[in-house]
Amino acid sequence: MSAPLEADYVIVGAGSAGCALAYRLSEDGRNSVIVIEYGGSDAGPLIQMPTAFSIPMNMRRYDWGYSTQPEPHLGGRVLATPRGKVLGGSSSINGMVYVRGHARDFDHWAECGAAGWAYRDVLPYFKRLETSHGGEEGWRGTDGPLHVQRGKRTNPLYQAFAEAGREAGFEVTADYNGSKQEGFGPMEQTIHKGRRWSAANAYLRPALKRANVSLVRGFARKIVIENHKATGVDIEWANRIRTVKAKREVVVAASAINSPALLMHSGIGPAAQLQAMGIDVVADRPGVGENLQDHLELYIQQECSKPITLYSHLNLFAKALIGARWLLFKDGLGATNHFEAAAFVRSKPGVDYPDIQYHFLPAAIRYDGKAAAEAHGFQAHVGPMRSKSRGNIRLASPNPWKAPEIRFNYMSHDEDWEDFRHCIRLTRELFAQPAFKPYCGEEIQPGADVTSNEALNAFIAEHVESAYHPCGTCRMGDADDPSSVVDPQLRVIGVEGLRVADSSIFPRITNGNLNAPSIMVGEKAADHILGRTLPPLDQELWINPRWRESDR
């Protein structure tokens, strides 16, 4: 901490986008980069062993430990909101599922004022960031930092899930990250050679080998702004406050929770809220902290009549063997997240691209690993992709160490309830297909007697869980739009030398898990900062020709 804390570019947050930014901004050796990160090391099997992913998600050592305010439409339930507090950010504690999002998601961004972020504009960045193992030729990257693989799918239940989708009349797809997202097929993972392939492993470690990149430990208290220009970041470490100076720009990449909070602590946000906290207003941007979105999901669980599920491996002895094999060989059940089959489907006729996502798991267990069914079972994680519900982030205190107030306002639209009831009934239809006949026992959850709209609504209210995909709180849009926080070059409107680059800039949530589009934002942000761009790619996308008449 005694060395001069100054660089051309200062990045706040070593997460999915921040690591990609550090790698690209420093690539040609011309620019110096400092990455500020409060979290500690990602070394050790709890993070690097894929099957252990539910453990660090529940550890304050690796997670900020955030939770929502009581959610008014879920009976006052308080839901966990994990965010990575570790090198790699949430890419070091997530489920390692890789989903780009649908092409129409990004076209919608462009239509909402994010010029230059249509699918043709972002596709080159997705291809640049990845090395795809088994993806569709011509659509996938072959030499990027992020390795993406498919699981081995040796358990017959994975094939049963895909076959059940086909039997029910749905599409199949060999690569949902290629030309055709819609359908049942293999799920992709950010796992490489048996290890979690986080943004830290893919981007930050190679970047830190360069002489022009430094990692500085510290808690970002506020952005230093002089004459409406960001000049640095005040950080705190070991009860000492210092300023990390930026000769060119500050880039905030601290998550959809922490990025808006840092802006507000720095005087950028809704003026009345800031004044009520005693914070001097630098830029009145009413959109800061608004537009909060997430994906919710349910776990539809079924008993398995054959002893082939992961239940056999949940005892301590079996876990010890899995761990030992992974430590020695980096293979076996420790080298997968067990999400190896997936689906993206449409909920009804008239919906032109998928709005429901499935993760399939050959076990009946909660995502956080805290509760497993006392029997062999399997489950589908299912949820709608494009809820209209919107929440917000608010400062709880002018003290930057105080956690912000998080309100997702989940299930605030009637359509949310209708969509989830459909998801439950659709999943039951899938589990009733011939492909599952050799395996299906009794329904564990919700239970076969839960059939009426009222009973299903009660189950949804009690059991719906976050998929941990927060985004949207520093919305990107036209600079003249008062609800925009950043312009399409990710520059904070009203402040020079300051950008935001992470999932907080999403105008609307994308289909599926958010790690891939967050990394893409970091990649594209680096090019905006350096004044360059990759040529757009026009490739023909598959859209179901029956979308007006049928859901399948």
Mean local confidence (pLDDT), 82-91:
98
Instruction: For the domain covering 152-186+296-384+412-463, report its CATH number.
Output: 3.30.410.40
Q: 0.95 cut: is pTM over it?
A: yes
Annotated catalytic, 381? no
Q: For residues 363 and 368, what is the distance between their CA atoms, to the nearest angstrom?
A: 13
For 37-68, the pLDDT digits (tens) are: 999 999 999 999 999 999 999 899 999 999 99
DSSP symbols for 255-273: HHHHHHHHHHHTTEE-HHH
Q: Residues marked as binding? A: 86, 94-97
Give the Å distances, CA to CA, from 63 to 60, 91, 407. 5, 11, 19
Mean local confidence (pLDDT), 321-326:
97
pLDDT at 373: 76
pLDDT at 309: 97
Segment holding 357, helix H or strand E: strand 356-361
For 188-205, the pLDDT digits (tens) are: 999 999 999 999 999 999
- Does 413 score more than 70 pLDDT? yes
Mean local confidence (pLDDT), 373-378:
89
Place 367 in a pLDDT band, splitting at 50, 70 and 90: low
Sequence spans of domains, the chain: 1-98+190-290+470-506+513-531, 152-186+296-384+412-463
**Closest CA relative to residue 393, chosen from 493, 503, 518:** 503
**Closest CA relative to residue 89, chosen from 21, 151, 8:** 21
For 286-317, the pLDDT digits (tens) are: 999 999 999 999 999 999 999 999 999 999 99
18 within 8 A of 259, measured Cβ to Cβ: no
pLDDT at 3: 56
- Does 113 score more than 60 pLDDT? yes
Place 371 in a pLDDT band, splitting at 50, 70 and 90: low
Q: Which of 147, 265, 469, 528 is catalytic?
A: 469
Say which DSSP state 49 is in: S
Instruction: Judge if 1-98+190-290+470-506+513-531 and 152-186+296-384+412-463 fold alike in CATH terms.
Output: no
For 148-192, the pLDDT digits (tens) are: 999 999 999 999 999 999 999 999 999 999 999 999 999 999 999
pLDDT at 374: 81
**Percent of all residues in the chain with a pLDDT value above 90, rounded to a whole number:** 97
289 within 8 A of 537, measured Cβ to Cβ: no
Tell me what the pLDDT averaged over the chain comes to: 97
Place 1 in a pLDDT band, splitting at 50, 70 and 90: very low
For 67-77, the pLDDT digits (tens) are: 999 999 999 99
Q: Residues marked as binding for FAD? A: 86, 94-97
The CATH T-level fold of domain 1-98+190-290+470-506+513-531 is FAD/NAD(P)-binding domain (3.50.50)
**Percent of all residues in the chain with a pLDDT value above 70, rounded to a whole number:** 98
Mean local confidence (pLDDT), 210-216:
98
Place 365 in a pLDDT band, splitting at 50, 70 and 90: confident
Mean local confidence (pLDDT), 258-280:
98
